[in-house]
Amino acid sequence: MVIDLITREDLNEFRTLLLNDLKQLIQPRSQQAKQWLKSYEVRKLLNISAGTLQNLRINGTLAYTKIGGLMYYKYSDIEKVMNGK
């Protein structure tokens, strides 16, 4: 019968490796932007009210797609608005 002892250094090393692996798994997803955003996400991103978002739609500044009762906005179009183009 073989008995292996685990020291505190072993546990700390395991903890460090585990945390690094978890960070690598989580990080790419959080950095990757969604291609389509809902109205509430656009309002939060641009820090605007629902009325202002409606005005952007009406005057053609921000293109949208309506599916069912929801409006979706392309992230690339939102970036153009944020950059002033």
Closest residue by Cα to residue 39 from 31, 48, 26, 28: 48
Condensed to tens digits (0 to 9), the pLDDT of residues 38-53 reads: 999 999 988 999 999 9
pLDDT confidence of residue 28: 59
Instruction: Return the higher-pLDDT residue of 30 and 67.
Output: 67
Q: What is each CA distance from 80 to 5, 10, 12, 37, 63, in whole angstroms?
A: 59, 50, 47, 14, 11
pLDDT confidence of residue 24: 82
pLDDT confidence of residue 14: 94
